[in-house]
Amino acid sequence: MDVSISDKHGEDSDSLNHETCGWGPVRPKCCQRFRSPRYLLLCLCGASFIQGMVVNGLISVVISSLEKRYSLSSSESGLIASCYDIMSAISLIPISYFGGIGVKSRYLSLGLLSIAAGSFIFSLPHFTSDVYNFGRVDDNLLCLMNGSSSCSTYSPSASNLSVSDYKFVFYLAMLLMGVGSVPLFTLAQPFLDESVPVRSASLYLGIYHCCNVLGPAAGYIIGAISLSYYVDIDRIQKVTVNSESSRFVGAWWVGFLFGALLAALMAIPLMGFPGILPKTTDYKEGREKETYKTGGQSDRSLGDGDQMGEGVGETTTNCFGVYKSFKVLFMNPTFVFLTLAETTEGFVLAGSSTFLPKFAEVQFSLPAATAALYVGAAIIPAGGLSTFMGGFIVKRFNLSVRGILKFCVGLMMTSTVLGLFLLIHCPSVPFAGVNIEYGQASSSGTKFLGSFRSDSCYRNCSCTQADNYNPVCGVDGITFYSPCYAGCYNIDKTTSPWIIGDLILS
Any domain includes 95: yes
Residues 212 and 275 reside in one and the same domain: yes
What does the pLDDT read at residue 37?
84
CA distance 406 to 400: 10
Out of 393, 426, 459, pick the residue that ends a domain.
426
Higher pLDDT, 26 or 317: 26
Report which of 141, 145, 247, 152 is spatially closest to residue 482, judged by C-alpha positions. Answer: 141
Residues 265 and 409 in one domain: no
Regarding whether 193 and 220 lie in a shared domain, the answer is: yes
For the ranges 259-268, 280-289, 302-311, 329-338, the one whose mean pLDDT is highest:
259-268
Domain boundary among 251, 281, 311: 281
447 and 481 assigned to the same domain = yes
CA distances from 419 to 339, 343, 422 (A): 21, 17, 6
| Residue 10, domain member (yes or no) | no
Q: What is the mean pLDDT of residues 70-87?
A: 87
Q: Is 404 inside any structural domain?
A: yes
Say which residue, 24 or 414, is predicted with more confidence: 414
Residues 354 and 412 reside in one and the same domain: yes
Q: Answer with the one of 281, 315, 340 that is the final residue of a domain.
A: 281
pLDDT > 70 fraction of the chain, expressed in percent and rounded:
68
- Per residue in 162-189, pLDDT (tens digit) is 678 899 999 999 999 999 999 998 888 8
pTM of this prediction exceeds 0.95? no
Percent of the chain whose predicted confidence (pLDDT) is above 90: 14
Computed over every residue of the chain, the mean pLDDT equals: 74
Do 407 and 456 lie in one domain? The reply is no
Query: Strands 472-473, 479-480: parallel, antiparallel or unpaired by DSSP?
Result: antiparallel
Could you give the CA distance from residue 235 to residue 333 in angstroms, rounded to a whole number? 58
Question: Domain for residue 3, yes or no?
Answer: no
Residue 28: which region, alpha, beta or left (left: phi > 0; alpha: psi -120 to 50)? beta
| Lowest mean pLDDT across 210-224, 256-270, 480-494 | 480-494
Helix (H, G, I), strand (E, B) or coil at 268: helix
What count of Cα atoms within 13 Å lies in the side-chain half-sphere of residue 321?
A: 17
Could you tell me if 124 and 269 lie in one domain? yes
Burial per residue of 308-344, b for 16 or more beta-carbon CB atoms within 10 angstroms, e otherwise:
bbeebbeeeeeeebbebbeebbeebeebeeeeeeeee
Is 62 part of a structural domain of the chain? yes
pLDDT of residue 494 exceeding 90: no
User: Is residue 286 in some structural domain?
Assistant: no
Residue 171 maps to a domain: yes
Q: Are residues 243 and 360 in the same domain?
A: no
CATH value at residue 76: 1.20.1250.20
- Its domain, for residue 383, covers 332-426
Provide DSSP, 315-338.
Answer: H--SHHHHHHHHHHHHT-HHHHHH
pLDDT at 370: 80
Domain check: are 416 and 475 in the same one? Answer: no
Q: Looking at the 3D structure of the chain, how many domains does it have?
A: 3
pLDDT band at 318 (very low <50, low <70, confident <90, very high): low
pLDDT tens digits along 22-62: 777 777 777 777 778 888 899 999 999 999 999 988 988 88
- Based on the fold, state whether residues 445 and 369 are members of the same structural domain: no
Are residue 457 and residue 420 in the same domain, yes or no? no
> Average pLDDT, stretch 101-121?
92
Same domain, 179 and 211: yes
pLDDT for res 321: 66
In a domain, 24, yes or no: yes
Mapping DSSP to helix (H, G, I), strand (E, B) and coil, where does residue 228 land? coil
